[in-house]
Structures are given as C-alpha cells and as structure tokens.
Structure 1
Amino acid sequence: MPNMIKKRKAIIFDMDNTLLQSRIDFPGMKTAVFQLLVKHQMIHPDLDYTKHSASQLIDLGRNSGRITEEIEASIWDTIVAYETEGMIGAALEEGAKDVLDALRHHYTLTILTNNARSAALQALKDTGIIPFFDLIAGREQMTELKPSPSGIHYILDKYPNIQAEEWIMVGDSWIDGKAAQDGGIGFIAYQSEPEEMKSHGVTPLAYVQRLEELLD
C-alpha cells in the first residue's frame, strides 16, 4: 500500500458509503426505476434488474426507443426523491475527516458521485468536509453515470498536468471500480465484497476496511 499510494498525485473519492454513511435506499430506488420502465413497456418484466445499476436500467429504457422526455423526467424525479430523503442527516464514515485532512496536504482530492451535484454539495457542507476537495462532480458533469468512465474522463480533463497513472479512485461499489478501470486509473475498494467485484470484472489494487488504511 505505501508504495502504491506514494506514486499517486490525486485521488477521486466516491461519496455515498465511502465518505458519507448514506441512508439512500439504493435497492428501493432501483426497484422503482425498474417498475417505471416496465410500466411503460421499455424493458421486459422478467429482466433480472438486480444485476444492473439504476443508470444501466435507464440506458436500457433509452435504447428501447419508447422513452419520452416526460417519462425520463419522471424517472429522474423518482431518483431525486430517494436521494433527497436519504441525504437527510447523513453522517461521516468513521475517520473520514481526519483522513481527508491528512491527505489534502499531499494529494489533489476530488469527488465523483452519481447523485445530483446540488445534493452532494449540501451533504458535504452539512458534514463539514467540503473544504477538503478541489473539485466535486455530480451526474450533471457526466454524459453517462458510473459504471461509465464518463465522470473519470471529466475529472482527468480538468487536470491535464496529472497523468492517468497518477490518479487513484476509492469507492465501495463495483460501479466505482468499473468506472475507474475503464477510465484508465487504479481503484481501491472500501468495505467491498471481493466476489461482487470479481463478478463484474473489477480487479482492485487493494481492499481496505477502514479509511485510515489509506494513510498506512
């Protein structure tokens, strides 16, 4: 771990369940998105939607040719409702503030979240960690949500003097790992299940259970 981190100049953090103990009901959100898509006959009701992220389900709806602006707006309204409710009273992951305070003196720190940027900014302000970050990217900054590498490319383009191999991402989900890998940067899995990572073709550089392990 020490040598691996030492080579890096910048870190991309996921937000939910990596820095913040999010209360967003992600399974419920995904189910609601699936039900809306089925209702409008954009995906088959027998699809095993649990193997897809919410963003992947939305892409399936778009690819059906049946989606309209009104339907897509209702899907995003549903997602925002889940996000807003889940962000109320969000707490920091253990050790997050101390770890970020130590890292910011040596690394460029950024956040990449599938949440709306406005919701992310509010949660980061409420928890007092927003000053640690040089850039915060939400879904508005991506052409496609994670696991697409779109957000990774967006952040890297903002820092042309930092090479891809000098970046690393820290996240709890396979979608973070997939975005990092496809974006050409390394990935550290936080409190993640190796089997889930493996099943999605994600090979983290390391697994950590505590954020303090990033400091070694």
Structure 2
Amino acid sequence: MTRASIKGIIFDMDNTLLQSKINFLEMKQAIFTLWAEHGLCEPTFDWRSHTASQLIEMGRKSGRMTSQLEQTMWEAVTAIEKAGMHEAVLEDHVKEVLAHLKERYHLFILTNNAYAAAEEALNHTGIADCFQEIVAREQMTTLKPHPSGIHYIRAQYPNWSATAWTMVGDSWIDGKAAHGGEVAFIAYQGERADMERNEVSPRAYITDLRELLDIL
C-alpha cells in the first residue's frame, strides 16, 4: 500500500476520535440481564468476557428473539450511549489531524453506536463536517466485529480497490471488521495482547494520531 493508492479512511469513533464516557460494562450487563430473564441465555453465561455486539448477535441467533424484546434491548443500549456521549471530548490532536487528512482523503465514521448519538457527539465536538458519512448501526446488518459496515461503505465506491482503504480504531473488533472487509487496519492505542488473541494483525500500531500523517 502506498500513500498515492489510499483514497478512503474509515475511523472508529469511541476511544479513537472521542473519549466517550459510555459505560460498556453497564451496557453488557443490561443486555445479559434481559436475555437471561427471557431465556435467550443461561443465567450462568459468562457475559463479561464478550463484547456488547457479541451479546447482541447471540440474542439474535438464539431463535427466541421477538421484535418487542429487541426494541427493549435497543432502548436500554441507546440510553446508556446517550448518557456516555453527553460529556464526550476529543482525543488529543484530532482536529489538527482531520484538517490535514480531509484535504487528501474521503473520511468516514464507522460506529456500533446509534446514528443519533454519534451525530450529536460529533457535532458537539465540532468534527462532524470532516466526514463524508457517519455509518452507525442502522446502516449495518451486523455490528462490528462483523465487516457489514465496511461492506456498506465500500459498496458506495465500487471502482476503488481494497488497497484504497484504511481503517483506524482502538479495539480488536475494529481490526476484525477491517480484515473481514479486506482493508488495512491501523491500531490506535490498541492492546497488542487483545489483537493477537483475536488474530488481528494491524498494519501499524500508533499511540498518537499525528503519526497517521506520516504513515498514510
């Protein structure tokens, strides 16, 4: 991959561009409690070792999901997201880096959050206008780590090869989505042990977003 070949950059949002206060442990517990109460999983299920998106997909695949139960789950998740996004602040150097990158690349947000919560946070922090599109869970068929969101974005530019894309995120689920979508992945402040445990091989590890200006 060369600097000249890259055309699009897909950013995760939470803990990549924004320091949100979303309580993911509370979110996972709320999903698990709902599933256990309605027989979608056993009360002894180890929910702490799974991501919220994995718990959601487990419920969907249980064969016992109803539309009303799914709506109740999303209402609980969205309430926790909105509470956490209300006080979101930018990661260091975000505005500086995005100002440079948007002059050369098409920029996208890919988040498992609800569109409304993501849009509100990005507007509040003053960076929403940097992106071609905010792609949230409403645009995905399956949440990250599934590559559904990557496929959605890439389908809008069918003439661009896989090498035209790079994803930047902090978590192994971002890397897994990128790999599934056949695009390169750059880990920002990512845990190497988590990446290796989940068979994610980033193109690079960075600790400062300004490093993107040299890598890309």
Q: TM-score, normalised by structure 1?
A: 0.95
TM-score (norm 2): 0.95
Match of 2:65 among 64, 67, 87: 67
Aligned pairs for 1:1-216 within 5 A? 5-216=3-214
The letter for the 1-side match of 2:10 is: I
CA distance in 2 between partners of 1:32 and 1:14 (Å): 23
Mapped to 1, the partners of 2:3 and 2:49 lie a distance apart of: 32
Gaps of 5+ in 1: none
In 1: Cα distance, 2:27 partner to 2:213 partner: 34
Listed one character per residue, the Cα deviations across residues 29-86 of structure 1 (whole Å, up to 9, x for unaligned) are 1111111111111112222223322122122122222221111111111100110100
* CA positional deviation for 1:4: 5.0
Distance 1:153 1:63 in 2: 21
CA deviation profile, 1:111-168 (whole Å, cap 9, x unmatched): 1011111111111111111111111101000000101100000000112232111100
Deviates more, 1:197-206 or 1:57-66: 57-66
Instruction: Figure out how many residues of one structure are paired with residues of the other and give that number.
Output: 214
The 3-state SS of whatever aligns with 2:187 is: strand
Question: How much identity, in percent, do the aligned residues show?
Answer: 53
The amino acid across from 1:32 in the alignment is A
Q: Which runs of 5+ in 2 are unaligned?
A: none
Offset of residue 5 of structure 1: 4.5
What SS does the aligned partner of 2:97 have?
helix
Aligned-residue CA RMSD (Å):
1.3
My pick for the range that moved more, 113-122 or 54-63, is: 54-63
